[in-house]
C-alpha cells in the first residue's frame, strides 16, 4: 500500500503531463501532423552546436573518473567558479564559486532550497497563476503553499498589497517565477522593488528573515528588449534557482544551479545546509558530465528569435479570431481567456485535436495555457482548428 500522502498526489497528478501522454496517443491514432499539441513546455529547437562540441571535449580530454566520479555535493569547484564569474559579468554581482550550488535542474534546486528553509507548518507564498508543481514541492517538506488570487485587472502583475496582507509569522519564503509560466509576463524592476519593500518591512516586523526564491528557467527568453531584473540586487535574502533546460534546450539533462549570496541572512549556514540537502534528497550531486559541458557554454544564446516568431504569429492570429490573450513578454507560453469553464473549453478544443492546458492547473481558472515552443509549421496547420473553435463560441470577427 502506498502512503496516504502519495495517494493524494497520484489522484492530483499533473494535468500537463497527462495531456502530453494523451497527445502521443492521439498522434499514433490520427497521425502526428493532425494533432496540435500545445501542452508541454518542451523546447522545439535543438541545443546549440556548442553544447554537443563541449560534451565531446569533456569526454575526450579529461580523465574518465574526473568526468564520471563523485565530487563535492555542491558540484565541481571549477564549474561553480565559472558560473559565478559569468553572472558577475552579466549582472554586476559579486558572487564567488562558494555561492553556487549545481542542482538537478531548477526543480531539484527549488526542492533543495525548500528543504533548507522549511519547518513543518511553515508557509510559502506565490502569485497566481503559478507553476502547479510549487504546491507539491512545498508539501514535500510539510509546508503550506499560499497562492494569492490572480491580479487580472493589472495584467497578472504581482500585487504588493495582497502580499503584505498574506504574510504571517509562519511565512518563511516567497516564490516568484520570472518570466512567468504560464502568463509570459515579466516582472519589472518596479514590481521587484515593491515586493522587496514589503519583504523588508515584514521581516523586520516579525523578527525573522523572509526569503525570496526566484525561479528563473526562462530568464534568457525575453522579447522586445524587455529587461528581466536580477533579484539579488534588490533584496539581500534572495535565493535564485536557474536551469539550462530552456536556454540550451536541455530539459532531459536536468542541470541547473542555485545562487545563495553572501548578503543573505545566515548565508554560510544556508550554503552548508543546501549542500547537505542536495545529498540527502537523493540527488547526491548534479549530473557530472553536464556540469562540465554547460560550464563551457555559459555565453551561448537561447533561440529567442525562433520562439519570438511563434509568439508573434500565434498571438496575432488568435486575437484576430476574437480570442483574448495576455501578450507574452517572455518564456514561451500564451495565456488565453476562455469563453466558458476552462476545462470544458479544453475538452472542446480536444475534439479539434488541439491540446491546451486548463488555467485551473495553474491556480487561475477561466484561461488556458498554450505552449508555443513548437514547430512553426504546426502553428500554421493548427490555425483552421482554432478558427473552428472560435466560430463554435461565436468569437469570430
Helix pair 304-320, 376-392: axis angle to 10 deg:
20
Quick check: 384 pLDDT over 90?
yes
Which long-range CB contacts under 8 A does 378-386 form with residues at least 24 apart? 378/36, 378/37, 379/310, 379/313, 379/314, 379/317, 380/313, 381/33, 381/36, 382/36, 382/38, 382/354, 383/317, 385/36, 385/349, 385/352, 385/353, 385/354, 386/317, 386/318, 386/321, 386/323, 386/354
pLDDT band at 72 (very low <50, low <70, confident <90, very high): very high
Choose among 9, 136, 38: nearest CA to 358: 38
Task: Share the mean pLDDT of the chain.
Answer: 95
pLDDT value, residue 310: 98
pLDDT band at 303 (very low <50, low <70, confident <90, very high): confident
Quick check: 397 pLDDT over 70?
no
- With beta carbons less than 8 A apart as the criterion, state whether 275 and 74 touch: yes
Separation between Cα atoms, residue 62 and residue 264, nearest integer Å: 36
pLDDT, tens digit, for every residue of 82-125?
999 999 999 999 999 999 999 999 999 999 999 999 999 999 99
pLDDT band at 17 (very low <50, low <70, confident <90, very high): low
pLDDT, tens digit, for every residue of 311-334?
999 999 999 999 999 999 999 999
Look up the pTM and report it: 0.95
Quick check: 366 pLDDT over 70?
yes
Quick check: 126 pLDDT over 70?
yes
pLDDT, tens digit, for every residue of 221-247?
999 999 999 999 999 999 999 999 999
Separation between Cα atoms, residue 212 and residue 239, nearest integer Å: 6
pLDDT, tens digit, for every residue of 143-181?
999 999 999 999 999 999 999 999 999 999 999 999 999
Q: Which three cell numbers stand for residue 324?
A: 483574448
pLDDT value, residue 31: 83
pLDDT value, residue 26: 80
* Alpha carbon distances (Å) from 279 to 75, 83, 103, 116, 219: 11, 21, 10, 12, 27
Amino acid at each position: 500500500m502506498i502512503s496516504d500522502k502519495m495517494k493524494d498526489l497520484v489522484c492530483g497528478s499533473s494535468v500537463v503531463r497527462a495531456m502530453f501522454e494523451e497527445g502521443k496517443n492521439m498522434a499514433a491514432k490520427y497521425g502526428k501532423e493532425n494533432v496540435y499539441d500545445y501542452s508541454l513546455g518542451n523546447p522545439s529547437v535543438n541545443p546549440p552546436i556548442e553544447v554537443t562540441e563541449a560534451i565531446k571535449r569533456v569526454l575526450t580530454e579529461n580523465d574518465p573518473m574526473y568526468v564520471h566520479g563523485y565530487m563535492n555535493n555542491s558540484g565541481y569547484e571549477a564549474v561553480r567558479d565559472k558560473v559565478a564569474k559569468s553572472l558577475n559579468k552579466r549582472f554586476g554581482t559579486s558572487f564567488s564559486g562558494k555561492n553556487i550550488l549545481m542542482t538537478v535542474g531548477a526543480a531539484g534546486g527549488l526542492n533543495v532550497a525548500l528543504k533548507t528553509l522549511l519547518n513543518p507548518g511553515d508557509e510559502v507564498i506565490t502569485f497566481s497563476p503559478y507553476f502547479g508543481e510549487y504546491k507539491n514541492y512545498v508539501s514535500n517538506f510539510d509546508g503550506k503553499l499560499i497562492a494569492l488570487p490572480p491580479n487580472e485587472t493589472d495584467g497578472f502583475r504581482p500585487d504588493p498589497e495582497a502580499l503584505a496582507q498574506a504574510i504571517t509569522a509562519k511565512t518563511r519564503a516567497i516564490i516568484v517565477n520570472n518570466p512567468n509560466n504560464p502568463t509570459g509576463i515579466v516582472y519589472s524592476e518596479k514590481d521587484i522593488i515593491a515586493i522587496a519593500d514589503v519583504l523588508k518591512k515584514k521581516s523586520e516586523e516579525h523578527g525573522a528573515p523572509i526569503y525570496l526564491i526566484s525561479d528563473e528557467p526562462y530568464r534568457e527568453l525575453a522579447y522586445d528588449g524587455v529587461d528581466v531584473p536580477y533579484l539579488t540586487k534588490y533584496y539581500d535574502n534572495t535565493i535564485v534557482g536557474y536551469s539550462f533546460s530552456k536556454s540550451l534546450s536541455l530539459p532531459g539533462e536536468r542541470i541547473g544551479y542555485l545562487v545563495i549570496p553572501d548578503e543573505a541572512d545566515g548565508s554560510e549556514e544556508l550554503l552548508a545546509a543546501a549542500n547537505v540537502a542536495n545529498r540527502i534528497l537523493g540527488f547526491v550531486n548534479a549530473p557530472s558530465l553536464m556540469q562540465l559541458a554547460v560550464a563551457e557554454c555559459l555565453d551561448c544564446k537561447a533561440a529567442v528569435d525562433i520562439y519570438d516568431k511563434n509568439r508573434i504569429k500565434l498571438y496575432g492570429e488568435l486575437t484576430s479570431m476574437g480570442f483574448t490573450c495576455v501578450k507574452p513578454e517572455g518564456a514561451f507560453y500564451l495565456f488565453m481567456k476562455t469563453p466558458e469553464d476552462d476545462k470544458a473549453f479544453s475538452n472542446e478544443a480536444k475534439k479539434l485535436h488541439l491540446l491546451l492546458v486548463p488555467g485551473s492547473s495553474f491556480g487561475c481558472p477561466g484561461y488556458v495555457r498554450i505552449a508555443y515552443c513548437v514547430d512553426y509549421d504546426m502553428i500554421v496547420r493548427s490555425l483552421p482548428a482554432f478558427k473552428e473553435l472560435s466560430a463554435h463560441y461565436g468569437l469570430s470577427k
